[in-house]
Structure 1
Amino acid sequence: MKLTDSRTHHHDPLLYLQLGALVASTGDQGFAEQMFELVSGLVPIHRLDLSEWTLDSEQTRIHQVKVLGNAGYPAAVTTTRPLRHPLLQSIMRMEDPLLIQINTPVNAEGDAHQCKLVSRSGNRRWVICCYRQPTQRAFSLAELSLLKTLSDTLLPLVEHHAQLLQVAGLRRPGRELPDEAGTMRQLFGDRLEQEGIRLSSREQEVCIGLLTGDTVPQLALRLNVKNSSIETYLKRATAKLGVSGRHGLARWMAGN
């Protein structure tokens, strides 16, 4: 996590509390609001939008844009123009996370200053767009640098938020209930492979169970072991992951 890279906010208790609340709200309706409160407390903005872009199979155009949440002033306050062609091309062809700044021309009406933070995986793009009123000054270099630092933590959370919303959408009435543990098992296995970490089968089962909402007694009953054994498996697993406890496990799964 790189939120503490800025000396101005080093060891800020409120920042850690806000970050904890943000991590806990992934997949919930209040996620965007939690992120808006965190970001606007560091860099003045009047609105924040979260979205997931899906490119076509050839990655030559945007196939779908899904809104993941928004917070701040109503969207009517901001009537931004579409991204210019070169900016769209940079997003479609990106390899590393991007920061795109769009300033409002002097005397322009309706448009707002924007700072877009973008990450990618395959043909997906996750976008955090921060808006500032056109009557205010544009984002400074120091503010852009801080937003870039924040993006190292916030963008993985947006991706995790999108995954949880997808699972929740599949569970709406009228649809066949998916195997939530199976979905989490796949996501968890992918994360382990990315990090080159190996866990025992029991350690994995405990982690997946806790990530999908099981309690320690429920896991102990299902695995036919004592509660203390579940805690031991968790301690061994989180030690290998380089984190501590259930909250550390959730943050690791979110990409922090």
Structure 2
Amino acid sequence: MRLLHPDPLGRGNFLIGVRPKTLGAAIHSVGTSEFVSTVAAFVNESIAADAVHLERWRSDASSASGYLVEWLGSGGTEYAELCRLMDTYYQHYCHIDPLFEPVRGKAGTMLVLRNVGSIADGEFRRKIFDEPQIAHECALVHGTARVQYAFALARNKKQSAFTTNELFYFRQMAEMLFPLFELHARTSAVCRTAAVPFNVTPNMGFDERLSAQDVQLSRREYEICKLLLNGRTIPDAAEQLEIKLSTAESYVKRAFAKLGVRTKRELFEWALAENWSADRVVMSE
């Protein structure tokens, strides 16, 4: 993930060509099922994208992760297939998406760029990027510590990567688009709400499974896993435990090897799995 400065060359604001007809269509469609597709048409006049996605994040004490992720809609040429893809994403992967974890809860406007090639091999990459042939993605994130909106653009493997100028133009659209997103969210139903409820918190399952199987974690390995299951990133965990990032990464690597998992997503699945044989566990110091 790269966090991009809105104007690193210091050349001032970039002008965006706006066609009144497409902007008017986006404004007129606020609160309707056509809103995201009309916003996509508006954006595509300046920046080509095969798909766009809009979501909202809200802090929520009733969720084990501490927030709700609400899918407000997507737009693209293969709309039905796109909706199926995003339904899978919000059902299984949105809470562990490495693109958004570092910016959740941070106030302001941020432009982030995903390096699809750097995503670890696994189910997340295969289902969300490789199979639908998504190769490039960038997103604008805007809001407060309690409520944020994320608007993402995606391109398939046949398209080139987003250029620096395109990213500048996209960043300049924030002041125009996010007030519309906020109004739309207040006047329409979300497509899907994703949260990790407390009654199925992975923390609970993690402790229960550790207490019944012969897995030996050191104190630090255990603490790191618990923080990851609470939605923290490895840098967050290192800061909270007052250890070096490289040391935290070593603890994670050793803990994951003992548990037989490779990713944070697999750690969640391990903690929530129901079909495992009861045995015993010893937690070492």
Normalised by the length of structure 2, the TM-score is: 0.48
Which of the residues 42, 51, 54 maps onto 1:50? 54
Which of the residues 21, 30, 36 maps onto 1:32? 36
Q: Which residue in 1 is equivalent to 2:151?
A: 128
Which of the residues 109, 118, 129 maps onto 2:130? 109
Once the two structures are TM-superposed, the CA of residue 47 in structure 1 deviates from its matched residue by 0.5
Determine what percentage of the aligned residue pairs are the same residue: 23
Local SS of the residue matching 1:136:
coil
Q: Which residue in 2 is equivalent to 1:153?
A: 176
Give the whole-Å Cα distance in 1 for the aligned partners of 2:167 and 2:189: 31
Q: Which residue in 2 is equivalent to 1:178?
A: none
Q: Which runs of 5+ in 2 are unaligned?
A: 1-12, 119-128, 191-285
RMSD of aligned alpha carbons? 3.1
Superposed CA deviations along residues 187-228 of structure 1, whole A, max 9, x for unmatched, are: xxxxxxxxxxxxxxxxxxxxxxxxxxxxxxxxxxxxxxxxxx
Q: Which residue in 1 is equivalent to 2:67?
A: 63
| Paired amino acid for 2:130 | E
Change beyond 3 A, Cα 1:136–1:82: farther
Counterparts in 2 of 1:143-182, with a 5 A limit? 143-165=166-188
Is the 1:23–1:157 contact (alpha carbons within 8 Å) kept by the matching residues of 2?
Answer: yes
Superposed CA deviations along residues 147-181 of structure 1, whole A, max 9, x for unmatched, are: 000121111211110011159xxxxxxxxxxxxxx
| Paired amino acid for 2:53 | D
Instruction: Name the structure where helix makes up a greater proportion of residues.
Output: 1
Give the whole-Å Cα distance in 2 for the aligned partners of 1:59 and 1:82: 14
Q: Which has the higher contact order (CA 8 A, sep 6+)?
A: 2
Give the whole-Å Cα distance in 2 for the aligned partners of 1:50 and 1:8: 21
Is the 2:14–2:168 contact (alpha carbons within 8 Å) kept by the matching residues of 1?
Answer: no
Once the two structures are TM-superposed, the CA of residue 50 in structure 1 deviates from its matched residue by 1.1
Give the whole-Å Cα distance in 2 for the aligned partners of 1:114 and 1:24: 27
Is the 2:135–2:155 contact (alpha carbons within 8 Å) kept by the matching residues of 1?
Answer: yes
Q: Which residue in 1 is equivalent to 2:111?
A: 99
The yes-or-no answer on 1:16 pairing with 2:28 is: no
| Paired amino acid for 2:51 | R
Is the 1:60–1:92 contact (alpha carbons within 8 Å) kept by the matching residues of 2?
Answer: no
Change beyond 3 A, Cα 1:93–1:60: farther
Give the whole-Å Cα distance in 2 for the aligned partners of 1:165 and 1:87: 26
Give the whole-Å Cα distance in 2 for the aligned partners of 1:161 and 1:8: 22
Change beyond 3 A, Cα 1:17–1:93: same
Figure out how many residues of one structure are paired with residues of the other and give that number. 158
Once the two structures are TM-superposed, the CA of residue 144 in structure 1 deviates from its matched residue by 0.3
Local SS of the residue matching 2:186:
helix
Q: Which residue in 1 is equivalent to 2:162?
A: 139
Give the whole-Å Cα distance in 2 for the aligned partners of 1:156 and 1:25: 14
Is the 2:105–2:148 contact (alpha carbons within 8 Å) kept by the matching residues of 1?
Answer: no
Normalised by the length of structure 1, the TM-score is: 0.53
Give the whole-Å Cα distance in 2 for the aligned partners of 1:134 and 1:77: 17
Change beyond 3 A, Cα 1:19–1:58: same
Counterparts in 2 of 1:77-88, with a 5 A limit? 87-88=99-100
